[in-house]
Structure 1
Amino acid sequence: MKELTEKELINKAEAYCSSVERCPSDMEMKLKGWGASPEVTAAVMSHLFKEKYLDTIRFCRAYVRDKYRFNQWGRVKIAQSLRIKGLSSDEINAGLEEIDEDEYCGILNRLLTQKQKSIKASSDYERDTKLIRFAVGRGFTVQEVMRFIKSDIQL
C-alpha cells in the first residue's frame, strides 16, 4: 500500500467524519491504521477540530442520545463507555445532560416490565433481586431501579 500524503489523509479523514459523529480517539486510531506518522496525525486532528469535523461535546451528546434511546442503556453504562473512549468528565457530563428524564424513566419502566414477565421467582424478594441485577447490568443505578420496584408501576 502506498503511503498517503497529509492532504490525502485530511481528505480521507474529512470524508470519514462527515458520515457519522466520530470520537477523537477513534479518529486517531483510524489515522494510525492508514499509516499516518504521529506528526501528521496531530496535524490532521488539529485541522479536523478547527474545521468542526470533530467536536467532543457534539459527539458525547449524539452518543448519549443513541445509547439510551436505541440500546436502552442507563447513565452508568453510557458514562463508562465514554470514559473508555478517553473523554473528560466535563465532556461526559455535557453529553449526559441530553437525557430527557421522562423518556429515560419510561425506558427503564418498559425494560423492567418486559423482564418481569420472563422471570421465574419463588418470592417477591427473589424477583426484585433479579430485576435489580438485570437493570444494573444495563447501566441503571440501584436507586433508579428501586424507585420503580417500590412503586410497583405496572410490575
Structure 2
Amino acid sequence: MDTPQKKKISDPKEALAKAEHYCAYQERAQQEVRDKLYDWGLWPDAVEATISELISAGFLNEERFAKAYAVGKFRQKGWGKIKIKQGLKFKRVPDVLIKKALTLIDADAYIDMLTNILAKKAKTTAEKDAFKRSYKLQQYAMGRGYESDIIADVLKASEL
C-alpha cells in the first residue's frame, strides 16, 4: 500500500499565503509555524524569511499566543500553572512570555477551579480511608498541573 505523498511547496509566496491562512485560523507559536513550513518542504532561509514576514504583518505574535494559550487551557481544560508552563515550554515560548501569560490567571478563579476539580473527583473516588482519599485527590490535582501547596490548602479548607 502506497501512502500518498504530501504536496511540497517550493514557491515562498505560496508558502506565505498558506502560512497566513494557518496563522489566521488560530494563534500559533513561532515553532509550530516553523515546523509546518519545514513539513511543506521549504528551505531554511525561506522559512525564516516567511516567519519574519508573518511577524511584521501581525499574523504571528508569541506574546499574544502565550496569553491565549494560558487563559484558554485554564478556562477550557482546567489546567494548573505547572502544566500550562510545560505546554508553553514544549512550544518553545520564551520564559519571559510564559511568566507574563501566567499572570493573567486570576488567583481567586484559580482556587475556585481547583476546588471544583477536586469536588468532582471526590464524588467519583470510592476510597473510604481519609488519608488514602486525600492522597488520591492530591495526585489527581498534581496531574492536572496544580501546585502541591495550593492543593493541600484547598483540601484542608474544603474537607473533601
Which range, TM-score by smaller chain? over 0.9
Aligned AA (2:78): Q
- Give the C-alpha shift of residue 3 in structure 1: 3.8
Q: Secondary structure at the match of 1:135?
A: helix
Query: Counterpart in 2 of 1:113?
Result: 119
2-structure distance, mates of 1:71, 1:87: 20
Query: Counterpart in 2 of 1:33?
Result: 39
2-structure distance, mates of 1:56, 1:82: 10
- Give the C-alpha shift of residue 2 in structure 1: 5.7
TM-score w.r.t. the length of structure 1 is 0.95
Greater CA drift, 36-45 or 94-103: 94-103
- Give the C-alpha shift of residue 17 in structure 1: 0.6
Moved over 4 A (4+): none
Show structure 1 runs of 5+ residues with no match: none
1-structure distance, mates of 2:65, 2:8: 32
2-structure distance, mates of 1:89, 1:41: 24
Query: Counterpart in 1 of 2:4?
Result: none
- Give the C-alpha shift of residue 81 in structure 1: 0.9
Query: Counterpart in 2 of 1:85?
Result: 91
Aligned residues: 154
What do residues 56-92 of structure 1 show as CA deviations (whole Å, max 9, x unaligned)? Answer: 1100000001101111110000001111111111011
Query: Counterpart in 1 of 2:130?
Result: 124
1-structure distance, mates of 2:80, 2:64: 19
Q: Is 2:142 the counterpart of 1:136?
A: yes
Q: Secondary structure at the match of 2:77?
A: coil
Aligned AA (1:30): K
Residue from 84, 89, 100 that aligns with 1:94: 100
* Percent of paired sites with the same residue: 33
What is the root-mean-square deviation of aligned Cα atoms in Å?
1.2
2-structure distance, mates of 1:71, 1:108: 12
